[in-house]
Structure 1
């Protein structure tokens, strides 16, 4: 009886506070739509790890190897995170504050996703920055802004004292995101032209920007925000974007690097990009 009730509540993103981790795990498994969004990601992450190991087996250039390591970390982090989610380990039940559409109700909050994003998205940016031939200053700025975006997004999801403050955190997170977008669209796009990697960089840039824009949109529409979409639909939205923004992204990147290792090796040493005048400046 408890399991049936839990499934009904999970469909709406609402879970009784007194549920144990075992009961949460069972309730997730009984919600086919929710469970499939997690298990499919675990399977694809595992397959991606094996495929990427094969693709990068012959890389010899240090920069190409570093891009490979950064790309490999993406599915490694993801398989760990999704295992935590599907087991109920990284899921909490928070009472929504007054003003929220589900005010006073315990809402399923998969905070483990933020842990994934805080660890995996910096790896994506490191790979992109290396591909573009970016300098250390831009790379550091992009990564720290990205981590700030994820941490403040987590704060938005976990704040239960005030509905307004949830949205304040959301706006702060979006502000960090704007910094990341600027570096991707302006700074690194120009660096990639100089480095000779513009074609593949622009493909990956568009893929990243378009999909990353979807995360704050679905947060706002999901149970954590306006509660327009239920938890299972939101979970599939996140999982679908993860599949493309992480595994497909890493596949396209590693395939290009494996085929163009000489181009990567010919970039300026370290993390310093070639200057606009054609000279190679010292690293920052």
Structure 2
């Protein structure tokens, strides 16, 4: 029975570093890919047991693991790396290292922004705060990518910029977001604290992984795969399961989210003289706009 020959098959695709993952590293990547794929199916299956208006967090969490599944399939196939001359050439380590472009891109496009959206919506923070935190997160990932693609010691300047972004994110999580979640009730408070503490701890380990691999060329690519893979399994499927478990008794309305079910007609209850929705008791207040239509007050009270 043939084994994993992905490295041999894809050796003709693009340029390669002089020290790459072995078959053991590829097997590990494919194992993580399978975990991510199974988690995606589980989170989507859980979504279909809920009303359509209560599926937001299931869909966000499933999108995180689905993106990771595709990314880990590519990394297990040894695709998506960019050869870069290593700043620190060490015995038994790569002289031309492989910067993993796919890992950075999947964090930039889906993983990190969706994780933070999941967590910050749980705390009911304002939309300006959410946008500011997402910007800091994107800046953190981009600087990490640019640093990995930089051959000189200036890569550590980009690493420093990324750390400033991380510190700002942690400040928002342990400060305004935590206080906001506490004001929403015991359910959001416990869920936010549980998931926020775990995510904050894990995110301080990612810069260490970067420093030992893309930055310092200290560990073998297989060890890099294991380090990042363990972090991602905890930060995606495990973290996502904890978040959804915490949301089992939390309604979107409790978080200031007013989501209309796809197949549910718009309720006539509470319509005013202009045909607009009246606010729910726990929803945002409405004030008259310049054209006589109501304007929603409060950043967390969007209707989807």
| TM bucket, shorter chain | 0.7 to 0.9
In 2: Cα distance, 1:112 partner to 1:267 partner: 34
Q: Report whether the alignment pairs 1:225 with 2:215.
A: yes
1:88 aligns to what SS in structure 2?
coil
Structure 2 counterpart of 1:187, from 169, 176, 183: 176
1:227 aligns to what SS in structure 2?
coil
By how many angstroms is 1:228 displaced? 2.3
By how many angstroms is 1:158 displaced? 0.4
Q: Report whether the alignment pairs 1:147 with 2:162.
A: no
Hey, what does 1:283 align to over in structure 2? 298
Say if 1:267 and 1:219 are closer, same or farther in 2 by CA, change over 3 A: closer
1:266 aligns to what SS in structure 2?
helix
Query: Which sections of structure 1, spanning at least 5 residues, go unmatched?
Result: 1-6, 8-18, 272-277
In 2: Cα distance, 1:52 partner to 1:226 partner: 37
In 2: Cα distance, 1:58 partner to 1:190 partner: 31
Hey, what does 2:76 align to over in structure 1? 86
Query: Which sections of structure 2, spanning at least 5 residues, go unmatched?
Result: 1-6, 260-281, 286-296, 300-304
Structure 1 runs of 4+ aligned residues shifted over 4 Å read 278-281
Normalised to the residue count of structure 2, the TM-score between the two structures is 0.75
Hey, what does 1:266 align to over in structure 2? 254
Structure 2 counterpart of 1:126, from 96, 99, 117: 117
In 2: Cα distance, 1:266 partner to 1:240 partner: 34
Contact 2:15–2:83 (Cα < 8 Å) also in 1: no
By how many angstroms is 1:254 displaced? 1.6
Say if 1:201 and 1:104 are closer, same or farther in 2 by CA, change over 3 A: closer
Hey, what does 1:66 align to over in structure 2? 56
Structure 1 counterpart of 2:12, from 15, 20, 31: 20
2:229 aligns to what SS in structure 1?
helix
> Once the two structures are superposed, what CA deviation does each residue of 1:169-200 show, in whole Å capped at 9, x if it has no partner?
11011111111111111111111101121111
Alignment of structure 1 residues 99-110 onto 2, 5 Å: 100-102=88-90, 105-110=95-100
Q: Report whether the alignment pairs 1:170 with 2:159.
A: yes
More helix by percentage: 1
By how many angstroms is 1:106 displaced? 1.0
By how many angstroms is 1:208 displaced? 0.3
In 1: Cα distance, 2:128 partner to 2:15 partner: 47
> Once the two structures are superposed, what CA deviation does each residue of 1:8-42 show, in whole Å capped at 9, x if it has no partner?
xxxxxxxxxxx632896xx967x243113311111
Contact 1:61–1:261 (Cα < 8 Å) also in 2: no
Q: Greater CA radius of gyration, 1 or 2?
A: 2
Say if 1:23 and 1:91 are closer, same or farther in 2 by CA, change over 3 A: closer
Hey, what does 2:244 align to over in structure 1? 254
Hey, what does 1:275 align to over in structure 2? none
Normalised to the residue count of structure 1, the TM-score between the two structures is 0.80
2:72 aligns to what SS in structure 1?
helix
In 1: Cα distance, 2:199 partner to 2:258 partner: 24
Structure 2 counterpart of 1:44, from 16, 35, 56: 35
Larger RCO, structure (CA 8 Å, separation 6 or more): 1
Contact 1:81–1:112 (Cα < 8 Å) also in 2: yes
Hey, what does 1:237 align to over in structure 2? 227
Say if 1:159 and 1:203 are closer, same or farther in 2 by CA, change over 3 A: same
